[in-house]
Amino acid sequence: MEIVLALAIGVLGGAGVWLLLRPRTFQVLMGLSLLSYAVNLFIFATGSLSIGEEPIVRQGLTANLENYTDPMPQALVLTAIVIGFATTALFLVVLLASRGLSGTDHVDGRENDEQEGGAR
């Protein structure tokens, strides 16, 4: 299970960075979203992955990572998901306003370098 989670975090992080480097603002927004998902999964994984274990230590058991799942990363990830949705909605509104004002969705404001006269 740890291998699958590590691969998922790596793929999400790699795709997020690749999309962040793209010239269109919507792709940058999607890259930020994928990176936030990767970070959320990483924080969630730090709370020790265990299936069927109690989130709080039961009486008679020692408080180590084998006997319970730490609830603090879960609370942090839940808060980060809520803040991430709000931030994505704000970026989407700014993206649409920028597209409406400038007429392009390129991050540098230029539609295409080849149409403007060639290479630099």
Query: Tens place of pLDDT for every residue, the chain, 120 residues?
Result: 789 989 999 999 999 999 999 988 889 999 999 999 999 899 888 877 767 666 677 777 777 767 777 778 888 889 999 998 999 999 999 989 988 888 888 887 777 655 554 444
Query: Residue 38: is it exposed, middle or buried by C-beta count within 10 angstroms (0-12/13-18/19+)?
Result: buried
Instruction: Tell me the pTM.
Output: 0.72
pLDDT for the residue numbered 110: 73
Q: Alpha carbon of 54 to those of 48, 62, 65, 72, 78: distances in Å?
A: 12, 13, 11, 13, 18
pLDDT for the residue numbered 90: 93
Which phi and psi (to 5°) does residue 32 adopt?
-65, -40
pLDDT for the residue numbered 55: 66
